[in-house]
C-alpha cells in the first residue's frame, strides 16, 4: 500500500506541483491544506503516514506551532519545508522533533531521500530485539489514534468504501476498502475467504462448503476454498 503524505503549504501553485511530484515518487496525497485549522480537523477524522509542512502557512498558527499541536495527539513523522534557512528558525523547528527539514528550492531527489528517511521512523516502531513486532492497523476512534495489533483482529468485513475491523473487544471502522486493509496485514495470519471477508486464520474454528465459524461469527466462504481451509485449520491444529 502506498505511503500517504498530507501537504500543508500556503502557496497554491507550489502545493499542486508538490502533490504531482509526490505522486510520481509513488506516494499518495489524500489532501492539501494551507492552514492549521483545516489540517487539525482532517487529522481528527483521517489517518495519514506523514505530514509535509511549510513553516510559513496561512493564519495565526505557523507550521511549527501546528506540529507542536499535532505532537500532543498523534505520533506522526513530520518533514518541514521552508524558504528560510536562518539558524534561529531551524533551532525553533528542532524543538518539535521533525523527522526531516527541506530548504526551498529543493530537488526531487532531496524530497524523496528526506521522506524515505522520515518513514524509517515508522518502521523502527515495529522493530524489536528479535525481529519485527506484530503488524498493526492504525485507526482513528473519537479523536484518538489507536494501534490494533493483527493478533487481536478476528476478521475484517467490507462495507462499501469502508472496512469494519472486528476485534475481541470492539468493532472499528476504517475509511479504506478491504483490499487496502488486506495489504497492510500479514498474509501469514490472514486469509481472504470471500470478497467481503478477511479472517484471522487462528480464529477459524469450523467450516463447511459454504460457511466458516470465525470467532463467534459465521462468514460465507467462496467456492473452491474448502480444501485450502482444511489445510489451514489442520496446520493450525498441528
Q: Please write the tens of the pLDDT for every residue from 174-195.
A: 988 998 898 888 888 899 999 9
What are the chain's domains? 5-125 (3.40.50.2300), 136-237 (2.40.50.1020)
Res 224: pLDDT: 77
Res 88: pLDDT: 84
Residue 30: C-alpha distances to residues 5, 42, 63, 227 (Å): 7, 10, 19, 41
Res 129: pLDDT: 37
Q: Structure pTM?
A: 0.58
**Intervals of the chain under pLDDT 50:** 126-133
Res 175: pLDDT: 87
Provide the H-helix boundaries in the chain.
12-24, 36-45, 63-73, 87-94, 108-125, 178-184, 226-237
| DSSP SS3 for 65 | helix
Res 128: pLDDT: 39
Res 145: pLDDT: 77
Amino acid at each position: 500500500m502506498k505511503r500517504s503524505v498530507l501537504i500543508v503549504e500556503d502557496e497554491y501553485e507550489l502545493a499542486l506541483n508538490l502533490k504531482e511530484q509526490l505522486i510520481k515518487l509513488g506516494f499518495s496525497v489524500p489532501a492539501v491544506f494551507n492552514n492549521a485549522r483545516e489540517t487539525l480537523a482532517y487529522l481528527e477524522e483521517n489517518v495519514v503516514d506523514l505530514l509535509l509542512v511549510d513553516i510559513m502557512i496561512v493564519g495565526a498558527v505557523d507550521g511549527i506551532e501546528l506540529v507542536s499541536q499535532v505532537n500532543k495527539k498523534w505520533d506522526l513523522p513530520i518533514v518541514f519545508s521552508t524558504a528560510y534557512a536562518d539558524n534561529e528558525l531551524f533551532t525553533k523547528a528542532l524543538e518539535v522533533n521533525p523527522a526531516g527539514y527541506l530548504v526551498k528550492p529543493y530537488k526531487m531527489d532531496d524530497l524523496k531521500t528526506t521522506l524515505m528517511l522520515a518513514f524509517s521512523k515508522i518502521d523502527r516502531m515495529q522493530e524489536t530485539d528479535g525481529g519485527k513486532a506484530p503488524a498493526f492497523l492504525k485507526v482513528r476512534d473519537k479523536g484518538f489514534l489507536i494501534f490494533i495489533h493483527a493478533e487481536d483482529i478476528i476478521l475484517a468485513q467490507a462495507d462499501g468504501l469502508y472496512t469494519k475491523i472486528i476485534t475481541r473487544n470492539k468493532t472499528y471502522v476504517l475509511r479504506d476498502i478491504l483490499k487496502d486493509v488486506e495489504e497492510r496485514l500479514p498474509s501469514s495470519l490472514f486469509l481472504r475467504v470471500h470478497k467481503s471477508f478477511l479472517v484471522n486464520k487462528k480464529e477459524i474454528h469450523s467450516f463447511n462448503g459454504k460457511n466458516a465459524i470465525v470467532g463467534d461469527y459465521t462468514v460465507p466462504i467462496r467456492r473452491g476454498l474448502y480444501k485450502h481451509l482444511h489445510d489451514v485449520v489442520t496446520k493450525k491444529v498441528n
